Amino acid sequence: MIAPSRFLAWLVLPLLALCSANLLADTVEGAPKALHLLDYIGADYPSTVEAGKVIDDAEYSEQLEFLGVLQGLIADLPAKPEKAELETGVSSLRSAIDGREDGAAVARQARQLGAKLAVAYEVSQAPIITPDPTRGAPLYAQHCSVCHGDTGAGDGPAGVGLTPP
C-alpha cells in the first residue's frame, strides 16, 4: 500500500507541473522590443528637444526612426482588446515628437504607454532571477565594450567618432 504522503505527492505533482508551464510561457514576440524602444524614447527624448527646438539632430532622427520601428512592432502584435489603444498611443506619441513637445510630457507619455503594453502583453520588466555580475562581466567584455569601452564611457574602439559617445 502507498503511504498517504506519497499518494498526495503523485496527485499534486502533475498540478504543479501544469502551473509552472504557464510561468515559463514565452512573451509575445515583439512586445519586449517595443517596451525597450518606449523606455529608450522616454529616457532620451527630453535631452533632444528643448523649448520646441531640436538641440541634437542625430538623436532626434533616431527617435523618429525608432518610432517607425515601434509602430511596426505594435501593428504586428496579436489582436487583443488593448491593441487599438496602444496603436492610438503610439500615433499620439509620434505627433508629440513631430510637434517637438516638452521632453517631460513626451517621457511621461512613453512611460504610460510602456506600462499599458507590459500589462496587455504580459511583458516582464524585471529579470526572473537576480543577475549575476560575474556572469555579466565577460558578456559585457565580449558584446558591449567594443563600443562602450571598459568602463561604459563610450570610449571603445568601435565607439570612436560616434556622437554622443
| pLDDT per 10-residue tile (average), the chain, 165 residues | 49 46 56 94 92 92 94 94 96 96 94 94 81 86 88 86 76
CB atoms within 10 A of CB 26: 5
Domain count, the chain: 2
H or E element: which one contains 76? Answer: helix 57-76
User: Do 93 and 148 belong together in one domain?
Assistant: no
CA distances from 128 to 5, 24, 74, 99, 111 (A): 31, 10, 24, 38, 21
CA torsion 43-49-50-54 (nearest 10°) is 160
In a domain, 46, yes or no: yes
pLDDT of residue 19: 46
User: Do 139 and 106 belong together in one domain?
Assistant: no
User: Do 107 and 148 belong together in one domain?
Assistant: no
User: Do 116 and 136 belong together in one domain?
Assistant: no
User: Do 111 and 138 belong together in one domain?
Assistant: no
Dist CA 149 CA 153 (whole Å): 6
pTM here is: 0.66
In a domain, 88, yes or no: yes
User: Do 40 and 74 belong together in one domain?
Assistant: yes
Cell of 83: 491593441
Question: Across the strands, what pairs with 53?
Answer: 50
pLDDT of residue 94: 96
User: Do 46 and 113 belong together in one domain?
Assistant: yes
Residue numbers of the domain that contains 45: 31-120
User: Do 58 and 113 belong together in one domain?
Assistant: yes
